[in-house]
Amino acid sequence: MLGLIIFGIIAMIAVIIVQLSKVSDLASAIKGEETSKLRANNRTAFWLVIFMVVFLVFCVVSALYYKNSMLGYGPHGAASSHGVELDGIFNTTLIITGIVFVITQILLFWFSYKYREDKNRKATFFAHSTQLELVWTGIPVIVMTYLVVKGLFVWNATMADVKPGENVIDIEATGYQFAWDIRYPGADGKIGTKNFRLIDLATNPLGQDWSDPKNIDDFMPTEIVLPVNQKVRVGINSKDVLHNFYLPHFRVKMDAVPGLPTYFVFTPTMTTDDYRQRLKDYPEYQVPADDTDPEGPQRWETFDYELACAELCGKGHYSMRKVVRIVSQEEYDLWLQQQSSYYLTNIRGTDVDPFRDDKLLGIEIEQRKEELTTQFTELMESDVESGVINLENVFFESGSSALDDVSQYELENVANLLKKYPNVNFELSGHTDSQGDESANLSLSQSRADQVASFLRGLGTSSDRMKAKGYGESAPVESNDTAEGRQANRRTELKIISK
Amino acid sequence: MAELITTYDTDVILADQGYDDHFHEHHHGDKYQTGFIHHYIFSMDHKIIARQFLITGIFWAIIGAAMSVIFRLQLGFPEESMAWIKPLLGKWIVLDEAGIGTLAPEFYYALVTMHGTILVFFVLTAGLSGTFSNLLIPLQIGARDMASPFLNMLSYWFFFTAGVIMFYSLFLSTGPFSGGWTAYPPLSALPQASTGSGTGMTLWLVSLTLFVVSVLLGGINYITTVLNLRTQGMTMWRMPLTIWAFFVTAILGLLSFPVLASGFFMLIMDRSLGTSFFLSDIFIEGAALDRVGGTPILYQHLFWFLGHPEVYIIILPAMGIASEVLSVHARKPIFGYKAMVLSILAIGFLSFIVWAHHMFMSGVNPFISNFFVIFTLIIAVPSAVKVFNWITTLWGGNIRLNSAMLFAIGFVSMFISGGLTGIFLGNSAIDIQLHDTYFVVAHFHIVMGIAAFFGMFAGIYHWYPKMFGRFMSETMGKIHFWGTLIGAYAIFWPMHYIGMAGVPRRYYSFDGFDAFRHFGDLNKFITIAAAIVFMLQLLFVLNFFYSIWKGKKMTNRNPWEATTLEWSTPIEGIHGNWPGKIPSVHRWAYDYNKDEREYVPQYIPMVEGEEAGDH
C-alpha cells in the first residue's frame, strides 16, 4: 500500500513537471522565441558562475571539516616509517592537482559565462596556436616527471625486500574465508614450511609440515603484536581465494594470492599507546566510544590499529578484522614468553606427531631448563627453608632403575644449579604408583633414587649434600585410578632440606 | 557590422555540387526496409540500429542505477528496515522476528557486481559508442550506411542476447554472479567459494562472451566504414572529432576484447574442464583442490589488458561528442584540431601499455610497476592538452547554453575533477594506501562514469532532432542538468574523504572496524544524493520518451547551424540518408565565424582566395 502511494506521488510529480515544462516552453514561444531564449541564456550563464563559486567553496570547507578524520591529516599521520614518505607525496600531489583543479574549473565556468551568446558579438575565429599548445603540453610534462620521479623513489624503497642477515621480525599472515591466521616464527626466528595438502581444519589449520623442525616453535596468536621501531617482514598467503592484507594506519597493503606468496616490509614507529595519546588532543576523539554509554571510555581510549581485507573475497569480505598492537620492546619480550607453540600445545604426542617416539625435543629441553632455573631460583630467594621440586624430565626404563638417556639434560641442569648454590642440602625422593607389589615398589623407588644420586655425583655434586630415599607408593600426588594419575605419581623429586 | 551569412540552400547545393554514387538507381537497396519487422526490429539501417542500442542502453541504465540505489540504502541506512522492498527482492531480504528486513550480504555483492558489469559494458560501451558510432559514422562521413549493414544488425542482436542472458541470471535461486565486475578467480572460478559463482557466473561468462562478439562485429564495421566509405573530399584530416573518437574506440575494442575473451575461455575451462590456469594451492570447503600450477594473476593481466583500454573505449566517444557539441554551440572551431586528433591517438596507444596500474598491489613484481607508473602518468599529458583545448574553445565564443552544451561543459568539469585524482592513483607509492578504497570509487565514477554519461547526455540532447525529428524539452533538460551536476558531485566528492580515511570499497558494513565506522553521516548524505539523482534520471527518461511523440517538431533541417554532414540530410531520415547525390566535402568540420559567414558547412566549396580553416 505504502509502495502504491509512493508510486502515485512520484507519478504525480512527473506529470506536474511535464506540464510545467510544457507551459514554460510555450510561454517562451509566446513571449517571442529570440528574446526569451537570450534571457534564459543569460540566466543559465549566471547560474554557472554561482555554481562554480559554491562548488569551490564547498570543496575547500568540507575538506577542512573532515581533515582530522582522514589518514595523513590531523592525528592520523602514518604510524610507519615508509608511511610518512607516502603521506608526503600524497600532499605534494594534492597541492599541485588542487591548484590545477581550481584554475581550470574557474576558467571553464567563467568563460562559459563571459562568452555567453550575444547577438551583437561575433565569435572569434581562433583555431590553433602552436605556442599555446606547446606551453600546455610542456607544463604537464614537467610536473608529471617531477611526480613520477619522486613517487618511484618512495615506491622502490618501500617495496624492497629485506637483505640477507638484516635484523627483522618475520611473521606470516594467511587469509581465508573469512579471517586471518597469524603465525610467528618462535625462538628460532624462522617460519616453518607448510603445504596446503596437509591442512586439517581441526588439527592443522595452516598445513604446517611437522617434520620441519622450524615448525616446532611456531605459534599463532589471536592478535598481531609487534615491537615499535623494529623492521617487520610479513609473508602474505591465502588458503582459498584472493584476499588483501591491509593495515590502514601503517600504509601497508598487499594481495594474498593462493599459490603465490607475497610480502610487505615495514617498520612501525608508534606504539598503540602513543597513538592514543596523540588522538587524545583532538575534540573529535574526546567523545564516548559507544554512543549509548556516555560514561564509558572515550574514542581515543578504545583506539586500536586494525588489520582488514581489501580484496573482494566473498560474502564475509567486510568482517576480516584483527587487532594490531604495537608495544615497547620490553612488553613485546614479555608477550613472547607467554605464547605457546602450536605444535607443543596441540600436536605433541598425538598420532600426527612425527616425533611422538622421541621423549624430549630440543625445544622442550630448552624450555624445561628455563622453567627449572626459575623454579629453583625462586625457591632459593624466598624466605621458606625447604621446598620440593619435581624433576619432570627424569625418566627410567619401565620396571627398572636404569636411567633413560634423555634424563641427563634435567640432571645436568640440576647439577649446575646446585653448583650455583653450594650451601643447599637436599634429598632425592623416588616415588612409584600403586601398580604391583608394594615392597617391590618400595625397593624400586629406593634404587631409582640411588641411581639419580649416583648420576649427580658423577656430575660433581658432593655426596655430603644429598640423601637418596625411596618412598614406594606411599606418597601419591594424584589418584592411582587413572593412567594420568599414575603417571604423575611415578616421579623423582628434589626436596630442599636446608639452604 | 555586416550581416552574417546564416542560411544555405542545401538541396540546391547538393544537387549541384554533390557526388553521384548512383545509389538510388539500384532498387534492391530499399527492399529490406519494407514491413514493420524489417524496419523496426531486424533492421539493417544504421539509424534504427543506433536507436535500438540507445533504448536498450537506457533500459539497462535504469536497472543498473536502481541496483546502486538499493545497495546505497544498505550503506547509508544499515539500521533501517528494507522489508518494503521484499516484494521485489524476495528471499534476498531477510526478515527477523520483529519484521525488520535486512539485505543479505550475498545479494549486496551481487548488486555491486551487476551494477558494475551492466554500467561498464551494457550502458557505457554498447549504449554510448554503439549508439553514436552507428548514428554518426555514416552520416558525418557522407556514407549511405555502414560497410556491412548485416554485421551491424548482428552486432545489435548479439548484444541483445547477451542482455537477455544477463537479465535471466538476476532471477536464479543462487543469485547472479557476485564476485565483482572484474570477476577475479579463484572466487569466480570455484562454485564452492560463493553462491554467485555457480550458475550465476556461468551465465555471466556466456553473456559477456556474446557481448565480446557484438563489440567485434560492430568495431570491424566502424573501422571499415571510416576507412572506405568516406565521401568525396572527406580526407581523414577533415573528419569531425566525433568520427576520430569512434574510429580509435573501435580499434581499441578490436584489439583488446579478444584478449578478454581468451581470459574468459581459460576461466570457463577452469570452471568446467578441470584445468588450472588460474588455480593453485587452494584449500576450500574443507578439502584441498587437487589442481595446481596456475596463477590468479594471469587472469588479472588478461582482464586488465582489456579493462584499461575499456575505460578509454568508454571515455573517447564522450570526448568526441563533447568536442563537437562545444564547438557547435560556442560557434567557434574546436581549438587545436590536430592536437585533439593526436591526443586521441596517443591516449589510444598508451591505453595498451598501462594495464598493470590496476595491479600494483596484487603481487606482481614491484620492479615492473616502475614502467606502468611512467606510462600511466604520461597519459595525463594528452588528457591535459584536451582539457586546455576545450577551455580555449569556449574562450571568445558566442555560447548558447542549451541542455546539450551544458552537459558538454559539465563533461569537461567532471573530466578535470576525476582526471586529477588519477594522478594520485597512477603513482604506485600513493596507490599503496588508496588502492581499493573509496578514493578509487570516487575517481573512476567521476572520470569514466559521470563524465561519460555527461558526454552521452550532451550527444542525446544534441542529436535527438536527428534521431526523432523532434526536440527534447529544454526546461526538463535544464532541471536534469542542474540536478545531475550538483547531485553527481554530492555523491562522489565525499567519497574522496572516505577513501582518504582508508575505508575499503566493497564493504557490506563498516561497523566491525573502528577505523571505518565513523562516516555514517557522509554515507547517509551520499545515499540521499544518489536517490535524488536516480529520480532525476527518470525525469530524463520521461523527457526522452515523451518527446519522441510530443516534442517540439523540427522545422529546419539544420537547427543548430552546424557544419557537419548529418545536418544536410532531410528531417525525415530515409534509407540511404540523402535522397539524391551524397555531399562532396570541401573543407574541415569547424568553419564557424570564419570571414563573414556565421558557419560554413563542409559541403560548401571554397570561395576564391579562401584559406582552409585548419591553417
Residues 25-64, chain B, touching A (beta carbon < 8 A): none
Spatial contact of B331 and B599, defined as CB atoms under 8 Å apart: yes
Residues of A in contact with B336 (CB under 8 A): 127-129, 133
Spatial contact of A255 and A235, defined as CB atoms under 8 Å apart: no
**What 3-state class would DSSP assign to A96?**
helix
Is there a single domain that holds both residue A331 and residue A211? yes
Burial bucket for residue A310 (CB in 10 Å: 0-12, 13-18, 19+): buried
Is there a single domain that holds both residue A185 and residue A327? yes
Mean pLDDT of B82-95: 90
Spatial contact of B213 and B185, defined as CB atoms under 8 Å apart: no
A–B CB contacts, 8 A cutoff, strictly below: 368
Q: Report the distance separating Cα A347 and Cα B472, nearest Å.
A: 76
What pLDDT does B4 receive? 60
Q: How many CA atoms lie within 13 A of A140 on its CB side?
A: 22
Residues of A in contact with B106 (CB under 8 A): 315
Is A477 part of a structural domain of the chain?
Answer: yes
Share of chain A above pLDDT 90, in %: 49
Q: Which of A287-291, B87-91, B254-258, B432-436 is predicted least confidently?
A: A287-291
Neighbours of A180 (CB within 10 A): 20
Q: Taking all residues of chain B, what is their mean pLDDT, rounded to a whole number? A: 93
The secondary structure of B18-66, three-state, reads CECCCHHHCHHHHHHHCCHHHHHHCCCCHHHHHHHHHHHHHHHHHHHHH
Is A356 part of a structural domain of the chain?
Answer: no
- C-alpha distance from B343 to closest chain A C-alpha (Å): 11
- ipTM, two decimals, is 0.94
Mean pLDDT of B295-317: 95
Report CA-CA distances (Å) from A391 to A387, A398, A486, B233: 13, 17, 16, 104
What pLDDT does A423 receive? 84
Number of domains forming the structure of chain A: 2
Tell whether B430 is within 8 A of chain A (Cβ): yes
Burial bucket for residue B161 (CB in 10 Å: 0-12, 13-18, 19+): middle
pLDDT higher than 80, residue B3? no
A386: CATH: 3.30.1330.60
B130 sits in which H/E element: none
Q: Report the distance separating Cα A120 and Cα A464, nearest Å.
A: 124
Provide φ and ψ at A282, rounded to 5°.
-105, 130
A225: CATH: 2.60.40.420
Q: State CA A56 to chain mean position distance.
A: 40
| Locus of grid cell 551494477 | B115
Tell whether B424 is within 8 A of chain A (Cβ): yes
Is there a single domain that holds both residue A409 and residue A475? yes
Share of chain A above pLDDT 70, in %: 99
Is A118 part of a structural domain of the chain?
Answer: no
Neighbours of B233 (CB within 10 A): 17
Is there a single domain that holds both residue A338 and residue A393? no
Give the closest of A70, A259, A309 to B280, CB-based: A259
Domain boundary among A347, A375, A407: A347
Q: Report the distance separating Cα B601 and Cα B604, nearest Å.
A: 6
Residues of B in contact with A242 (CB under 8 A): 184, 186-187, 296, 362
What pLDDT does A284 receive? 86
pLDDT higher than 50, residue B201? yes
Spatial contact of A393 and A360, defined as CB atoms under 8 Å apart: yes
Partners of residue A200 on adjacent β-strands: A204
B593 sits in which H/E element: strand B592-594
Q: What is the pLDDT of residues A99-125, one digit of tens each?
A: 999 999 999 999 999 999 988 888 888
Q: Which of A23-37, A203-217, A248-262, A277-291 is predicted least confidently?
A: A23-37
Q: Report the distance separating Cα B604 and Cα B595, nearest Å.
A: 14
Q: How confident is the model at residue A24 (pLDDT cuts 50, 70, 90)?
A: confident
Spatial contact of B344 and B248, defined as CB atoms under 8 Å apart: yes
pLDDT higher than 60, residue B30? no
To the nearest 10 degrees (0 to 180), the angle between helices B451-468 and B131-141 is 60
Is there a single domain that holds both residue A304 and residue A394? no
What pLDDT does B2 receive? 45
Q: Taking all residues of chain A, what is their mean pLDDT, rounded to a whole number? A: 89
Mean pLDDT of B501-523: 93
What pLDDT does B1 receive? 40
Is there a single domain that holds both residue A292 and residue A427? no
Residues of A in contact with B515 (CB under 8 A): 248-249, 306, 308
pLDDT higher than 80, residue A395? yes
Q: How confident is the model at residue B243 (pLDDT cuts 50, 70, 90)?
A: very high
Q: Which of B61-75, B179-193, B245-259, B590-604 is predicted least confidently?
A: B590-604
> Is the Cβ pair A314, B613 closer than 8 Å?
no
Is there a single domain that holds both residue A338 and residue A484? no
- C-alpha distance from B507 to closest chain A C-alpha (Å): 5
Neighbours of B8 (CB within 10 A): 17
Q: How confident is the model at residue A154 (pLDDT cuts 50, 70, 90)?
A: very high
Share of chain B above pLDDT 90, in %: 83
Yes or no: domain B10-113+123-281+288-599 corresponds to CATH 1.20.210.10: yes
More confident site: B457 or B610 = B457
More confident site: A423 or B542 = B542
Query: Omega before A178 cis (within 30°)?
Result: yes
Q: What is the pTM of this model?
A: 0.91
Closest CA to B253 of B228, B284, B225, B220: B220
Mean pLDDT of A325-332: 96
Cα torsion for B279, B283, B286, B291, to the nearest 10°? 40
Residues 496-525, chain B, touching A (beta carbon < 8 A): 497, 500-502, 504, 506-510, 512-516, 518-519, 522
Partners of residue A234 on adjacent β-strands: A171, A264
What pLDDT does B31 receive? 53
Pairing of strands B470-471, B552-553: antiparallel
**What 3-state class would DSSP assign to B544?**
helix
**What 3-state class would DSSP assign to A168?**
coil
Give the closest of A90, A112, A259 to B399, CB-based: A112
The x, y and z cell numbers of residue B115, run together, are 551494477
| Locus of grid cell 606504539 | A271
Is there a single domain that holds both residue A279 and residue A377? no
> What helix, strand, coil percent values describe chain B, rounded to 5?
65, 5, 30
Tell whether B81 is within 8 A of chain A (Cβ): no
- For residue A380, give its domain range: 362-498
> Is the Cβ pair B429, A123 closer than 8 Å?
no
Domain boundaries, given as residue ranges, for chain B: 10-113+123-281+288-599
Is A492 part of a structural domain of the chain?
Answer: yes
pLDDT higher than 60, residue B52? yes
| Locus of grid cell 594419575 | A485
What pLDDT does A8 receive? 80
pLDDT higher than 90, residue B77? yes
Q: Report the distance separating Cα B279 and Cα B270, nearest Å.
A: 8
Q: How confident is the model at residue A3 (pLDDT cuts 50, 70, 90)?
A: low
Is A209 part of a structural domain of the chain?
Answer: yes
Give the closest of B332, B474, B542 to A126, CB-based: B332
Round to the nearest angstrom and report the end-to-end CA distance of chain B.
25
- C-alpha distance from A333 to closest chain B C-alpha (Å): 27
Q: How confident is the model at residue B614 (pLDDT cuts 50, 70, 90)?
A: confident
Q: What is the pLDDT of residues A407-423, one digit of tens each?
A: 888 888 888 888 888 88
Give the closest of B335, B497, B514 to A303, CB-based: B514
Concatenate the DSSP letters of all residues of B265-278 into one string.
Answer: HHHHHHHHT---SS
Neighbours of A121 (CB within 10 A): 15
Spatial contact of A441 and A461, defined as CB atoms under 8 Å apart: no
Q: Report the distance separating Cα B325 and Cα B410, nearest Å.
A: 12
What pLDDT does A356 receive? 80
The x, y and z cell numbers of residue B600, run together, are 560554413
Q: What is the pLDDT of residues B94-146, one digit of tens each?
A: 988 888 889 999 999 999 999 999 999 999 999 999 999 999 999 999 999 99
The x, y and z cell numbers of residue A2, run together, are 505504502
pLDDT higher than 60, residue A288? yes
